[in-house]
Amino acid sequence: MPLDVAPISRSYETQRTLNPPGIPAAAPLPTGETDDTRRIRERFGDDIGAAGLHNGNQVVYVKPAQLKALAAFLRADPQLQYETLIDVTSVDRSHLPLNGDDARFQAIYQFRSYTRNQHLTLVTNCEAAASPAPSADHNETLLPHIDSLTGVFRGADWPEREVYDLMGIQFDGHPDLRRILMPKNWPYHPLQKQTPLGGEEVPFTLTWDDPEFETLGAQILPAESAAPDLPPGMSRENMIINMGPHHPSTHGVLRLVVELDGERVVSIDPDLGFLHSGFEKTAEHKRYKDFVYYTDRMDYLSAMANNLGYCLTVEHMLGLEIPERAQVIRVIMVEMQRIASHLFWLATHVLDVSGTGMSLLMYATRERERILDLFEMVCGARLTVSYIRIGGVWQDLPKAFITELKDFIRVMPQKIREYEAMLTDAPLWQERLAGVGYISREDGLAMGLTGPMLRGSGVDWDLRRDRPYSGYEGYEFEVPTSDRGDCYGRYRVRMEEMRQSIRILQQAVDTLPSGLYKSNNRKVSAPPRAELDVSMEALIHHFKLMTEGFHVSPGFFYHGIEGSKGELGFFVYSDGSAKPYRLHVHGPSFNNLYAIDHISRGEMLSDVVTNIGSIDIVLGEVDR
Amino acid sequence: MDWLQVLVFPTIRALILIFVLLTGFAYLTWYERKLLARFQIRYGPNRAGKYGLLQPAADAVKAFFKEEIIPNHVDKPVYLLAPALALAPALIIWAVIPIAKGIPAIADVNIGFLWILAVAGIESYGVILAGWSSNNNYSLLGALRSAAQMVSYELPLGLFLVSILILAGSFSLVELVESTRLWWEWIWLWLAFPFFFICILAETNRSPFDLPETENELVAGFQTEYGGMKFALFFMAEYINMITTSAIMATLFFGGWKGPFAEEIIWLGPIYLVIKVVLLLFLFIWVRASIGRPRYDQLMKFCWQFMLPLGLVYMSISAVLAVFLK
């Protein structure tokens, strides 16, 4: 299939050749050592490349042959206890200056120990393919390859499929290595650097006879209608039901192929990617400050949290200090967003479980509406807010905001009691949720679930409390957990989380300091308009920021925040220029959705719907 | 002039009845939408006419002028027959319901009770055939659920009907309403009303027992492949069923057309009946706005493990009461 369209070079964008000398540069190796890296080095000796701290994270470089053994060791060793694999991602380093023997592809794993509160990043070079650069007539056997970790961590399944799909790294020993986000007949692996970004310039002309129209739409793939094939492991003996992508309760364009025996679910194969927007590829072509607006569109129900997650990652790489007031404003926004997201979860969950007539949908959206009104007050937008920016927030809070917020905080606990009165003890609600979608603590950890999904299975972990950011260490709140592991447990956890968020909001409002609402580091955040009239310096800074953006020193960093649906992580690999060399988003919905097959097996078709609601997915984030 | 009595008058009465019921259906949709909206802090229809009163007319026009789409993969004759088959029983049950002193809607058959049971039995065919002929997995599952649910709930429903029959001592609904009941009879009857109402909800596929068309898992259940007027027929069947069953409940439990002065002034009878039906319809909508839906297996379990034994016990006690106290 021809895709012979050269990537467009836009003259107004930063050209690589204009970068200062020394850019691009590969990430520097980690330095120093920690207890964990010492322990790993003791055990694996020379198979460990470099190990130590990089950007504050523990990083270990391991030889590909020992990857699987090291992962198993990390999990099993009583001194390490890395119980869960949070994320798998990869970097195509072909645009970086490398030594001759450096591998082009690197796979990067994020491990987490909940018991010891430790985070560890594992970097592995992928073994080179037979031919160094995959040619246009793409051949699967030429892909770089590496051992799959699915045997050690079950949750590696989908992230590895994603890496295979987008980056073209073959995982040896993966049970089901299919494309996951892109269409199955897509010829390339989009995150490889030689794949063009796509997007063609629309001819601006006044006549239809213009020859420019002849090539318009050349990048659009021919829509070949392919017969749907049965996902592996399913049998035509059973009834195969296709739920979605247009289905009332798959929360967007999720497609589930459900194998049914009567009304009992035998297995489920989720088909993702209908909303794949290529954010990660786009990010490589946007300046750091310009990507904030894209994060809104991922988890569109908690845009503030996405903004914050991205900004914190970049700010950490810049070593930027955020003013106290901005921190508190951010906490207020993110906690409001958490309540809004949970309210919407509650509304749709009730709708899914109980039918359209059930009035709670409207009650919960009524309160969410108030939060959106408050968002509108601070930034003019309700859904895609882009309010939190690198360096602080966009603008200071308007005068009426605090009064309105206080009123909301006063009213909200009563409303939550109202919802609980309708649901918590209602026998029908209990019967629909209790025992449905059970996931044990061990399975939850092995699958890399995060957020309420994990807390509902009894893991006492909250990034706000355990790895605090944005000044969360200064707030008093509890982390609700439930040992039930079923939909009802998760329901209780989320309801309690809303209460705790109100507690945090109350404290934040009480302690809101005065001061700057964004950093006054002029290299990163633009000077106020008034300053431009009087200061030459300010004008230059403004010009540099608006045209080129700011540079981030070479390196990589993974940072996770507690989003409303789980751990929302951003991984940024910088080559020193003003644009991310590689940006990866760890969306909690993506990993949590992986559990749908496990928790639905043997249950009724109605329970599948309950489970989807209970996992709380947003397809914008799953597909990215 | 015998044929006049046998054929023409009943036909005219039937036509009037159908007209009244269809209008009733139209305004029931308005009533439900308005009420649900109030339960859900919304306004409901308020654009077409004052208080949205012309909304049903607008909906009817829309349904009429929609393109008729018949998918290629359906079993065409059955597919077309199913909506009619769903609607007809809802209408013909009305034949035996008394609307005023000594006046049934169409005919005072002396087996009124059996008529209700028999026609209610046919009702599920429309749904089952629609699901079967649609050739669609969702429709099929909806139809199967419907078949199981309606057949199961007909048992307790029948048992309650039989209990009432035992106490009344006559198969005719007209006589049932006119005969005087003792005070303990009323109390005993009203004890059964909530359970009877549950059976009726299941029988009419109304929320929370609308499992055959659970929109959140089965898309639209048995009516997934239907659109336009054919869908409207199913819609009509459901709502007319609500009216019909409300009338039955009013007749069995609340004295039907009876009310102050209804014996003397004949035309008050239908008015009282309508008031009672509207109040019972409110109950349907209230339940829909506040109670969530059970799962299919829970619904069946509830029927077989609770409603059926309860019905049997109720019937036995009714029999004992009838023997010793009447």
Closest CB to B41: pick one of A354, A356, A366.
A366
Tell me the sheet residues that pair with A484: none
Residue of A263, A350, A429 with shortest CB distance to B141: A263
From chain B, pick out residues whose CB is under 8 angstroms from the CB of A240.
137
- Cα–Cα nearest to A341, from A588, A586, A508: A588
Q: Which chain B residue has the Cα nearest residue A429? A: B292
CB-based contact (8 Å) between B295 and chain A? yes
Q: Copy the structure tokens of residue A144.
A: 């770089």
- Using DSSP, state whether A60 is helix, strand or coil: strand
Report whether the peptide linkage leading into residue A24 is cis, meaning its omega lies within 30 degrees of zero.
yes
Question: Within an 8 Å CB–CB cutoff, is residue A11 touching chain B?
Answer: no
> Which H or E element spans position A51?
strand A48-54
Residue A574 neighbours by CB under 8 Å, 6+ apart: A27, A317, A552, A553, A554, A555, A556, A580, A581
User: Could you give the CA distance from residue A437 to residue A265 in angstroms, rounded to a whole number?
Assistant: 12
Residue A134's pLDDT is: 45
- Closest CB to B40: pick one of A242, A362, A608: A362
Flag if A358 and B292 touch (Cβ within 8 Å). yes
Residues 350-369, chain A: which have Cβ within 8 Å of B? Answer: 350-359, 361-363, 366
Selected residue of A238, A422, A606, A614 to mutate for chain B interface (largest B Cβ count, 10 A): A606
Q: Quick count: other Cβ atoms within 10 Å of Cβ A263?
A: 18
CATH class label, A22-172: alpha beta
- Is A602 near chain B, with CB under 8 Å? no
Say whether residue B300 is in contact with chain A using an 8 A CB cutoff: no
Residue with tokens 């003791």: A42
CB-CB under 8 Å, B36 with A608: no
Q: Closest Cα of chain B to A548: distance in Å?
A: 49
The H or E element that residue A114 is part of is: none
Closest Cβ–Cβ partner in B39, B42, B215 for A356? B215
The answer to whether B41 contacts chain A (CB < 8 Å) is yes
- The answer to whether the CB of A409 falls within 8 A of the CB of A505 is yes
The span from the CA of B148 to the CA of B159, in Å, is 18
Residue type, A195: T
Where do the domains of chain A lie? Answer: 22-172, 279-613
Cβ proximity of A146 and A170 under 8 Å: yes
The helix/strand/coil state of A615 is helix
pLDDT given at position A215: 66
Q: Does A608 touch chain B (CB under 8 A)?
A: yes
Identify the closest residue of chain B to A259 by CA–CA distance: B137
**Most distant CA pair in chain A: distance in Å?**
78
Backbone angles phi, psi at A473, to 5 degrees: -65, -20
Helix (H) or strand (E) holding A416: helix A399-423
Which CATH class name applies to A279-613?
A: mainly alpha
A608–B292 C-beta distance less than 8 A: no
B32 → chain A, closest CA residue:
A357
Check if the beta carbon of residue A577 is closer than 8 Å to that of residue A421.
no
Q: Where are the domains of chain B?
A: 1-65, 71-325
Q: Is the peptide bond before B208 cis (omega within 30 degrees of 0)?
A: yes
**A575 at interface of B, judged by CB pairs closer than 8 A:** no
The answer to whether residues A519 and A319 touch, using CB atoms and an 8 Å cutoff, is no
Chain B residues with CB inside 8 Å of A359's CB?
36, 39-41, 289-290
How close, in Å, is residue A130 to chain B by CA atoms? 47
| A427 contact B CB<8A | no
Contact yes or no for A352/A249 (Cβ under 8 A): yes
CA B246 to chain A, closest CA, distance in angstroms equals 20
Mutate to test the interface with B, among A263, A366, A596, A609 (most CBs of B within 10 A): A263
> Å from B219 to nearest chain A CA?
6
Query: A263 — contact with chain B (CB < 8 Å)?
Result: yes
Q: Which residues pair with A111 in a beta bridge?
A: A85, A120
Q: Are A570 and A99 in contact (CB under 8 A)?
A: no
All residues of chain B having their beta carbon less than 8 Å from the beta carbon of residue A239 are 137
- CA-nearest residue to B288 within chain A is A357
Among A292, A301, A480, which residue's Cα sits nearest to residue A392?
Answer: A292
A107-147 pLDDT tens trace: 999 999 998 888 999 999 888 765 544 444 444 446 788 88
pLDDT of residue B321: 85
Give the minimum alpha-carbon distance from B213 to chain A in angstroms, rounded to a whole number. 10
CA dihedral A278, A282, A284, A290 (to 10 degrees): -140
> What are the mean pLDDT values of chain A's consecutive 10-residue runs (624 residues total)?
50 57 80 85 84 87 88 87 90 80 85 90 81 46 80 89 89 86 81 74 70 67 69 83 81 87 87 88 87 90 91 91 91 93 91 78 89 91 90 89 92 90 85 88 89 90 89 90 90 92 92 88 86 90 86 90 90 89 91 90 88 88 86
User: With an 8 Å Cβ cutoff, are A241 and B138 in contact?
Assistant: yes
Chosen from B29, B144, B293 to mutate, greatest number of chain A CBs within 10 A: B293
| Nearest residue, CB atoms, B214 vs list A241, A355, A358 | A355
Is residue A159 classed exposed, middle or buried when 0-12, 13-18 and 19+ CB atoms within 10 A define those classes?
buried
Of A242, A431, A609, the CB nearest to B217: A609
* B210, B217, B298 ranked by CB distance to A431: nearest: B298
Q: What is the mean pLDDT of each run of 10 residues along chain B (326 residues)?
A: 76 86 88 89 86 88 85 85 86 81 72 82 83 84 83 87 83 75 81 89 81 70 80 86 88 80 77 89 88 84 90 90 80
B219 touches chain A (CB under 8 A): yes
Dihedral angle sign, alpha carbons of residues A281, A287, A288, A291:
negative
Of the partner residues B36, B290, B296, the one whose CB lies closest to the CB of residue A606: B296
Positive or negative: CA dihedral B73, B77, B80, B84: negative
Phi, psi of A185 (to 5 degrees): -100, 15
